[in-house]
Amino acid sequence: MQRIGVFVCWCGSNIAGTVDVQAVSDALKNEPGVVFSTNYQYMCSQAGQNMIKDAIKEYRLTGIVVCSCSPRMHEATFRKTAQAAGLNPYMVEIANIREQCSWVHKDIPTGTEKAIILGKAAVAKVNLNAPLTPGESPVTKRALVIGGGIAGIQTALDIADAGFPVDIVETKPTIGGKMAQLDKTFPTLDCAACILTPKMVDVAQNDKIRIFSYSEVQEVKGFVGNFDVKIKKKARYVNEDICTGCGACTEKCPQKNVPNEFNLGMDNRRAIYIPFAQAVPKVATIDPNACNMLKNGKCGVCAKVCAAGAIDYKQQDQIIEEKYGAIVVATGFNPISMEKFDEFAYSQSKDVITSLEFERLTNAAGPTAGKLLRPSDLEHPHTIVFVQCVGSRCAACAEKGKEYCSKICCMYTAKHAMLVRDKYPDTEVYVFYIDVRTPGKNFDEFYRRAVEEYGVHYIKGMVGKVTPEGKKLKVQGSDLIMDEQVHIDADLVVLAAAIEPDKSARPLATMLTASMDTNDFFTEAHPKLRPVESPTAGVFLSGACQGPKDIPETVSQAGAAASKVIGLLAKDKLTGNPCIASPNELMCNGCSSCERVCPYGAITYVDKEFRMPDRTTAIRRVAQVNPAVCQGCGACTVACPSGAMDLRGFASAQIIAEVDAICK
Amino acid sequence: MQKITREVLIEKAASLLNEGVVSGVLGWKQGEFAYDVTPALFTTVDELNEQFVWGDFCGANFSKYLVAHTRKTQSKVLVFLKPCDTYSFNQLLTEHRFDREKVYAVGIPCEGMADVSKVKAIAGEGITAIESTEEGLAVTTLYNDAPVVIAYEDALAERCINCKSKKHVAYDELIGEEGDVLESGRFDQVAALEAMTPDERFAFWQKELSKCIRCNACRDVCPACTCEKCVFNNPVSGAETKAPMGTFEEKMFHIIRAFHVAGRCTDCGECSRVCPQDIPLHLLNRKFIKDINTHYGEYQAGAEVGSRAPLVNYTTNDVEPGDVFERGEENA
Amino acid sequence: MQVNEKKPLIVAFCCNWCSYAGADLAGNNRLAYPADVKIIRVPCSCRVNPMFILRAFQRGADGVIICGCHPGDCHYTSGNYFTRRRMAMLFSMLDYLGIEKERTRVEWVSAAEGAKFAATMNDFAEKVAALGENKRLEDLRCKK
């Protein structure tokens, strides 16, 4: 028989406001196994924890029930408390009487009644608890960073700085990500390339960092500390080790009309290309969809001009298998497609562009060499209209766009407007906005400079329609402050397109068993307290894959993720979760049902000799669970027809006891 | 009436015994009554000649007996398998329940087995002898002077009227001609139940399940129920009760049993055959089979060794639990 | 309000990673739902044995709801896919036996869907309350 102590927390008035805590501790005193029951203002406080420790010793408790907030909040706390008092931490059960009782039920009789029932269920469960000891598993001291934008770069640099090897996997031929495409950065207006490219070089020169560019993660197996990852290195048809990046091939390649993704298709590149001058690794890549040699064997110019002999038309995709202790997701974002936003005439006029396209138009390395010329006729635009929140902050029911705020648009639009007015004072700039959101360090000052010093016309209201008419774009919008319709004849319209997670994120999340929200942003383990960790152990989040972010925020999150990774890799061994499946060999049929539902391949079979009821011996096939691999989902326990497979900490008998206690 | 004769089977068994290929034979032996045939192990030719029987009441499926038997011996055992038995045989192999090396399986054809309840319904109680004749079963009872002749089709068991296959899916040797997998109307009754209102269905099942005496015969005979320890005998499983009483086990026994064999049940029909209360237990199993076929694609347990049972499998676009009812009703 | 009316009893099995967290979020946001709902935490919805559900009904529960991560988002990759098949089969069987199908439900509730959790529980509790006491499983076998 257990000797159980019950500790009912008031949580100030959070619980005590709707639950008669005295009545709860009194009622639970009479439950089987309970030898001590009390209540206190804040059980999680030092004094509360000491109360628990003292009671464990004084009453020789073998198990405790804490009626408090969610176990997701303080289960770990109270387990440590129990451990400190010499009790096995898994002899602790939490009755969630705050989130699932006092906060959702309004009157005291109802709340109290339910709290007592939840307490009884926890007591019933702890009566059947058994001490558990976690197993240990080794840690592979290498990290994988998926995505080579500024988030991935910063994370990799920080991890490498602590002395751990890091691999970066980037789908594009070069690292750099979106930041490499930007012109200037807010709020300081220093040029993106000037601050990014040195970091890219650092990555390339760091002997702890390997870059797998033009590569994708294909398969992830294993678990925290022990991930087995397959990386597909796509054939770039150029030997990376030999290519010097001289660019001779990219000048001679006869296939000149491939839309240049780096400039968002606003100019063309060759079939063999280096995305931009500062690319890392600076090696050429052949686009197999454009290269005549690869398509029909007719060309071979690049191989002829390559002095290094780096061209290899027969190159194959290569699969790299590597073990990692931690994985950082840094897959970033993309602007959403403007297809569904035809009211802004994006598909009808070349002069309606997205903000990212505008970045390229103003970038010295862009298609216009930094001169602000409109794409249709390469003339200098005299009136520019910026439209904010295109696809952001849409109604939940809207068929297009996103419900969330894309966060970065207010600031980059202010930057664009300011830069235009600075360089071309003859150009009138209008910004249509819903709200201007500038809550960052020096952000609001920056925006106000755009309005006050640079004379940008900010109009509160949305643009209803853009109609191309001759060389002009007729912009029709509303000014909510003046309460009037606004008509502007613009030369260029720039849309602040909402940003969304990269398309690769969803399949990656499935591979990593990491959870995502409805918008495909990765979910953090806790929105406030564990913002850079995924709920899946060993998987960390860096940058915009977790939510829209600007560069300063991305870099700080990247560093935070790195520090979490370093914390993990610094350990030699990880203590596992002891709440895992375990088979009762005497009852096991060896039927393989459990093995078939195990997502981790944790179950294997052995032939064992058994003494049978008729005193003979027989060899039977029975299941074995690898404690380092089992994650404790319990799928096997239900697949098992005989009930031989049970889950420690969530045993069938325990759950049935809870059911019985609730349904009494 | 069975086409193959007792003599052919004894001859085959005797020769295998004599050759030393097998050390025992799983076959049928006469029980207390004419219709009462019981499974038995024969180890000598004399035993076979004396006690081996074969006829229209030899419904017992021997697959399950292989689990216990192959553990006891190092030598081979001969087992006679009717087509439907071979599915259970394969299913047990899929689940690694016996050692295939220790079994010599002889497939035998089956013309369908008689249902003693149907015979009794026509001929009455007090049966003293049953003779298989050209015209049908000639049944002698305590109360009639001349035997009552029952046409075979009138005595045929439900599972045989709706026979799913005359084809053997596993054997070492086949006696007689191989048949085909059949189109059967085995789901018609399930569909008829589905078409009823919930109240009618409830009334139907309440009437049927109320007859249950919890004798466990359905479980004990079921080739899918070969657990080392059954949950209903296990005090920690939460499903066990010692005596029939108005609680859980009484009401849930059949649901849990059907669920445990769902996706693994080959629809051999043994459960209904042995039920002393004539509860149509196969209608529970067939409901699961029908649902599985409808929602997850046609699946016949035991059709091939090593196939993955539907309930230990999934696709990412399976039907939602809330939608099965509507689909079920559409099909009705 | 009628007095002496037996309040419905609802058992909700919630997976630790999504739905239990969703229930916590409902609490954080003070989104009310009936106290009839009692939550049992399981690591994954696939831990829910049909036996637990039947046991709850047998002990007097009027409704049982299983909540898990959305398909594709299972913390354990595939647990909820198995749940989906098992529960589809079990619920279909209960319906076949003539048990009211509104007494059982599977709902996918993510950790971010506190509002959905509360709305689901409100709706489920209302539907179960409308059915009245759970008699049919109790009476599946005649009492003599």
* Annotated domain spans of chain B: 1-114+157-184, 116-155, 185-332
Each residue's pLDDT tens digit, B196-245: 999 999 999 988 888 888 889 999 999 999 999 998 888 878 777 655 55
Structure tokens at A481: 């402050």
Decide if A104 and C30 are in contact by the 8 Å CB cutoff: yes
* Mean per-residue pLDDT of chain A: 94
Q: Does A656 touch chain B (CB under 8 A)?
A: yes
Q: What is the mean pLDDT of residues A83-94?
A: 96
Whether residue A525 has pLDDT greater than 80: no
Each residue's pLDDT tens digit, A458-484: 999 999 999 999 999 999 999 999 999
Assess whether the previous peptide bond of A578 is cis (omega < 30° from 0). no
pLDDT confidence of residue C139: 63
Each residue's pLDDT tens digit, A553-567: 999 999 999 999 999
Q: What is the mean pLDDT of residues B290-311?
A: 94
Q: Give the span between the Cα atoms of A574 and A602, in whole angstroms.
A: 18
pLDDT confidence of residue B250: 58
Q: Does B203 touch chain C (CB under 8 A)?
A: yes
* Mean per-residue pLDDT of chain B: 90
Query: Which among A592, A642, A656 is the nearest to B230, CB-wise?
Result: A642
Confidence of residue A72 (pLDDT cuts 50, 70, 90): very high
Q: What is the mean pLDDT of residues C26-38?
A: 95
pLDDT confidence of residue A618: 85
Decide if C85 and B313 are in contact by the 8 Å CB cutoff: yes
pLDDT confidence of residue C27: 96
Q: What is the mean pLDDT of residues A87-95?
A: 97
pLDDT confidence of residue A478: 95
Rounded to a whole number of angstroms, the distance from the CA of C114 to the nearest CA of chain A is: 11
Decide if C112 and A660 are in contact by the 8 Å CB cutoff: no
Enumerate residues 597 to 636 of chain A having a beta carbon within 8 A of any beta carbon in chain B: 597, 605, 612, 616, 618-621
- Name chain C contacts of A113, Cβ cutoff 8 Å: 35
Query: Which among C23, C24, C47 is the nearest to A637, CB-wise?
Result: C47
Each residue's pLDDT tens digit, C50-88: 999 998 988 889 999 999 999 988 888 789 999 999 999
Residue B123 sits at φ, ψ, to 5 deg, of -90, -20
Decide if A635 and C78 are in contact by the 8 Å CB cutoff: yes
- Residue A350 near residue A361, CB atoms below 8 Å: no
- Burial label for A531, CB within 10 Å (0-12, 13-18, 19+), is middle
Whether residue A509 has pLDDT greater than 60: yes
pLDDT confidence of residue A40: 96
- Name chain B contacts of C93, Cβ cutoff 8 Å: 255, 258-259, 284, 287-288, 291
Q: List residues of chain B with CB under 8 Å from any CB of chain A.
A: 71-72, 94-97, 226-231, 234, 236-238, 260-261, 264, 308-309, 311-313
Cβ pairs bridging A and B (under 8 Å): 64
Rounded to a whole number of angstroms, the distance from the CA of B161 to the nearest CA of chain C is: 23
Q: Give the span between the Cα atoms of A95 and A32, in whole angstroms.
A: 16
Each residue's pLDDT tens digit, A588-640: 999 999 999 988 778 889 999 988 777 888 889 999 998 877 889 999 999 99
Each residue's pLDDT tens digit, A226-261: 999 999 999 999 999 999 999 999 999 999 999 999
Query: Which among A587, A591, A652 is the nearest to B96, CB-wise?
Result: A591
Q: What's the full length of chain C, in residues?
A: 144
pLDDT confidence of residue B7: 93
Which residue of chain A has the CA closest to B256?
A641
Query: Which among B193, B314, B328 is the nearest to C78, CB-wise?
Result: B314
Whether residue B121 has pLDDT greater than 50: yes
pLDDT confidence of residue B316: 85
> Buried (b) or exposed (e) across A53-64, using 16+ Cβ within 10 A?
bebbeeeebbbb
- Name chain B contacts of A588, Cβ cutoff 8 Å: 228
pTM of the model: 0.72
Enumerate residues 224 to 283 of chain B having a beta carbon within 8 A of any beta carbon in chain C: 231, 237-239, 246-248, 250-252, 255-256, 258-259, 262
Q: Which residue has the tokens 């049966």?
A: B127
**Which domains occur in chain C, in start order?**
10-139 (3.40.50)
pLDDT confidence of residue B251: 63
Sign of the C-alpha dihedral, residues A9, A13, A15, A18? positive
Q: Does C6 touch chain A (CB under 8 A)?
A: no
Whether residue A32 has pLDDT greater than 90: yes
Each residue's pLDDT tens digit, A309-318: 999 999 999 9
pLDDT confidence of residue A612: 77
**Which domains occur in chain A, in start order?**
4-126 (3.40.50), 156-226+317-332+502-569 (3.50.50.60), 248-305 (no CATH), 336-500 (3.50.50.60), 581-648 (3.30.70.3270)
Query: Which among C33, C40, C75 is the nearest to A655, CB-wise?
Result: C40
- Name chain A contacts of C44, Cβ cutoff 8 Å: 633-635
**How remote is the C-alpha of B94 from its chain's centroid?**
18
Q: Which residue has the tokens 């053997």?
A: B168
Q: Does A591 touch chain B (CB under 8 A)?
A: yes
For C54-115, the three-class secondary structure string (H helix, E strand, C coil) is HHHHHCCCCEEEEEECCCCCCCCCCHHHHHHHHHHHHHHHHHHCCCCHHHEEEEECCCCCHH
- Name chain A contacts of B261, Cβ cutoff 8 Å: 641
Rounded to a whole number of angstroms, the distance from the CA of A113 to the nearest CA of chain C is: 9
Whether residue A175 has pLDDT greater than 60: yes
- Name chain A contacts of B228, Cβ cutoff 8 Å: 586-589, 620, 642, 644
Q: Give the span between the Cα atoms of A357 and A496, in whole angstroms.
A: 10
C-alpha gyration radius of chain B:
21
Q: How many CB atoms lie within 10 A of CB A417?
A: 25
Q: Does C85 touch chain A (CB under 8 A)?
A: no
Decide if B287 and C88 are in contact by the 8 Å CB cutoff: no
Query: Which among A591, A616, A621 is the nearest to B72, CB-wise?
Result: A616
Rounded to a whole number of angstroms, the distance from the CA of C20 to the nearest CA of chain A is: 9
Q: Does A294 touch chain B (CB under 8 A)?
A: no
- Name chain B contacts of C140, Cβ cutoff 8 Å: 202, 205-206, 209, 251
Q: Give the span between the Cα atoms of A493 and A171, in whole angstroms.
A: 31
pLDDT confidence of residue C69: 93
DSSP notation for B276-306 = TT---THHHHHHHHHHHHHHH----TTSSTT
Confidence of residue A404 (pLDDT cuts 50, 70, 90): very high
Decide if B227 and A612 are in contact by the 8 Å CB cutoff: no
Decide if C54 and B318 are in contact by the 8 Å CB cutoff: no
Query: Which among A99, A631, A659 is the nearest to C11, CB-wise?
Result: A659
**Percent of chain A whose pLDDT exceeds 70:** 100
- Residue A581 near residue A632, CB atoms below 8 Å: yes
Decide if B237 and A593 are in contact by the 8 Å CB cutoff: no
pLDDT confidence of residue B122: 93
Decide if C85 and B205 are in contact by the 8 Å CB cutoff: no
- Residue B139 near residue B60, CB atoms below 8 Å: no
pLDDT confidence of residue A290: 95
Whether residue A388 has pLDDT greater than 60: yes
Q: Does A506 touch chain B (CB under 8 A)?
A: no
pLDDT confidence of residue B245: 52
Rounded to a whole number of angstroms, the distance from the CA of A565 to the nearest CA of chain C is: 20
Decide if B291 and C88 are in contact by the 8 Å CB cutoff: yes
- Residue A249 near residue A306, CB atoms below 8 Å: yes
Whether residue B330 has pLDDT greater than 70: no
Whether residue A551 has pLDDT greater than 60: yes
